[in-house]
Amino acid sequence: MNSNVEEVKSRLNIVDVVGEYVRLTKAGANWKGLCPFHHEKSPSFMVNEEKQIFHCFGCTKGGDVISFVMEMESLEFREALKILAEKAGVELEEYKSQDSGNKKRIMSALELSAKFYETQLWKGMGKDKILKYLHDRGLNDESIKKFRLGYAPNGWDNIIKFLSGRGYSMEEIFQTGLLVEKNQNQATTTNHEPRTTNYYDRFRNRIMFPIMDIMDNVIGYSARVAPGEDESQAKYINTPETAVYHKSKALYGISQAKNDIKKKNCALLVEGNTDVIACSQAGIGNVVAVSGTALTSDQITILKRYAEKVSMLFDMDNAGQQAAQKSVQLYLVNFFEKGLIPSIVFLKNGKDAAEVAKNNPQDLLDAISKPINSLEYFLKNIINKHDKGTTEGKNLIIKEWSEIIGSIPNEIPMNRVEKVAWSKKLAQEIDVEEKVLLDVLRKVQPASSFEKKGAENNIEDMKISRRFEVIRDSLLGVIMGSAEIWKETCEKEKENEYLINDSLVRLVLNNGPKANFSFEALLSSIEDERIIEKLRKIYFDAKYQFTKGEVIEYSQDDLRQLAEGYKTQYVKELQKERLHSIIRGIENAEHKGDKETLAKLMSEFTKLSQEM
């Protein structure tokens, strides 16, 4: 893909692409405009045509034409590349395969099916009964059209006839998920009409909710049984897994909500499709729902691309309370693994968000404006369940609390700080000494969960982590900025344990030779979009120096000197981190009276101190 990336960039002028989003004016060697990534009155956003890069002196965002489209549209690297490739007239190698061509046919068939169902709702069999039902639920015409709701009329082969009449084979239609394959025991006639194929329509007499990806492509459906029909079985049915629809990665409403989520830096997660539409209609645009599955790690990853916060909305009846506790407990691990601390929104009145939005939109807005931290919710809920005035009650409270926080990974420093902070709050609430409570929790947690010094120790860990990561990123940026320095570093440092112990450094050094020390080739070999995004930022930040009037690109000698300096600082920071870890280990060994471990750690401390 490397040749594709270079060809796409060579055929496009970043000034033209950025100019589609930002009004640019010539300013010396650069172009200037108001930054599209933050609010400003005076232009601090710059585009350099010679080097084909952009940079904002206000919010410090910057990069090449691909980075710009990724940031503007909240796209992954390959998605942005695909858009720019189409603009540049470049056919990407990965899209030339037969499988890719098949996916395009599936996507186009699904788009046509959405138009068919929309027509049936507005002009066909659904225009009276189904539209009335949607209006009665409080949805207006604008919202119905915005989310492209439709109606699948009764009958066994409506979508078959429609799509086959437009040139799609039966196999292609089947691959959209719109059909069900007959088994051999089924009757060959229905409604006195013979079946002419081995398939029949999956969706019949149902309200159709198209599920779209972030690029606004229809990838599947969630379909509700028509009002008045039997709801005891399969009130909702969804598209099965297909080549384009993966329920673990789909979020209903993400296409319409992505910009609002990004703007508010928060996603609101609700339970149903109608809740999404009703919230949007009430002016709450940052809302999505899971599609036919429990919330997955992949879906949280998608949300994190747009926001740092997630709120989950539940109603206040007993069922809602139980759903909140069950769902958040199930989701906590996934949320915290992604570095997100979810909040919970409760509705005081009404069955669900759609009902509250219909009857009193202001109640919905008020509830959403006052979310509760999920750990605070659990803490209050556990305390209210038991008698905190008795020893037995205190023990039960501590036991349940340990089960909750025991599911939260410690790898992310903020998780550890949150756990200690709320545990100290619990100690105050139930009148137990902080040290006693933390000691109890330490016994049921991994060794790193609750250190002796508590939150202060974790905060110190975070400071050290930030220092060495900043220096590491600067070092990697300089290395990747020069093929020559990259090659030299790989040859000299492959045995340096301080360097290769870090997974990101190891990735750059190990894959450098395979990528022929080309930055774009390195990115093309990586599947994880988070790593791609991180490396692009590291590379760009290290390669250029910006002043108000010009862009300076470092010389080879400057880069080599910077690399040596960063390398020295990086090794020192890693040594400091190891020393800090040894000191904590010594304190723990002293506390436990473990003489053997203490002697070993003291020896290591002496050796490392001498090296430093």
Task: Please enumerate in sequence order all residues whose Cβ is within 8 A of that of 528, keeping only pairs 6 or more positions apart, or say none.
Answer: none
Q: How far apart are CA 10 and CA 52, in angstroms?
A: 9
pLDDT at 458: 45
pLDDT at 500: 63
The SS3 call for residue 546 is strand
Nearest Cα to Cα of residue 81 among 411, 495, 489, 523? 523
Nearest Cα to Cα of residue 217 among 199, 181, 242? 242
Task: List Cβ<8 Å contacts ≥24 apart for 358-367.
Answer: 358/137, 358/138, 358/278, 359/138, 361/282, 361/283, 364/279, 364/282, 364/284, 365/282, 365/283, 365/284, 367/313
Task: Please enumerate in sequence order all residues whose Cβ is within 8 A of that of 404, keeping only pairs 6 or more positions apart, or say none.
Answer: 329, 332, 375, 378, 382
Q: Which residues of the chain have pLDDT under 50?
A: 95-98, 187-195, 446-465
CATH of span 2-94 = 3.90.580.10
What is the share, in percent, of the chain residues with pLDDT greater than 90? Answer: 27
Q: How far apart are CA 156 and CA 97, in angstroms?
A: 34
Q: How far apart are CA 498 and CA 509, in angstroms?
A: 13
Q: How far apart are CA 202 and CA 157, in angstroms?
A: 9
Provide the residue ranges of all domains of the chain, joining segments of one domain with +.
Answer: 2-94, 99-238, 251-370, 379-450, 459-609
Strands ordered across the beta sheet of 25-27? 25-27, 30-33, 45-48, 53-56, 62-63
pLDDT at 320: 53
Angstrom distances, CA of residue 399 to CA of 136, 408, 544:
47, 15, 54
pLDDT at 194: 42
CB 150 within 8 A of CB 210: yes
Rg (CA), the chain: 29
Nearest Cα to Cα of residue 24 among 51, 2, 56? 56
Angstrom distances, CA of residue 233 to CA of 153, 182, 203, 229, 230:
19, 20, 14, 10, 7
Which CATH architecture is the domain 99-238 placed in? Alpha-Beta Complex (3.90)
Task: Determine how many CB atoms are found less than 10 A away from the CB of residue 520.
Answer: 18
Same fold, 99-238 and 251-370: no
Buried/exposed 435-466: b ≥16 CB within 10 Å, e otherwise: eebbebbeeebeeebbbeebbebbeebeebee
Give the sign of the dihedral formed by CA 33, CA 34, CA 38, CA 40.
positive
pLDDT at 99: 52
φ/ψ of residue 370, rounded to 5: -125, 65
CB 218 within 8 A of CB 212: yes
pLDDT at 548: 62
User: What one-letter code names the amino acid at 394?
Assistant: K
Kindly tell me the burial class for residue 577, based on how many C-beta atoms sit within 10 Å of its own C-beta (0-12, 13-18, 19 or more): middle
Angstrom distances, CA of residue 247 to CA of 291, 383, 457, 524:
6, 37, 41, 26
pLDDT at 119: 97
pLDDT at 325: 60
Task: Please enumerate in sequence order all residues whose Cβ is within 8 A of that of 48, keeping only pairs 6 or more positions apart, or say none.
Answer: 29, 30, 31, 54, 55, 551
What's the CATH fold of domain 251-370?
Answer: Dna Topoisomerase Vi A Subunit; Chain: A, domain 2 (3.40.1360)
Q: Dump pLDDT digits (tens) for 372-422.
A: 888 888 888 889 888 988 988 888 888 888 877 776 766 555 567 777 888
φ/ψ of residue 387, rounded to 5: -85, 105
Q: Dump pLDDT digits (tens) for 417-446.
A: 777 888 888 888 888 888 888 777 776 554
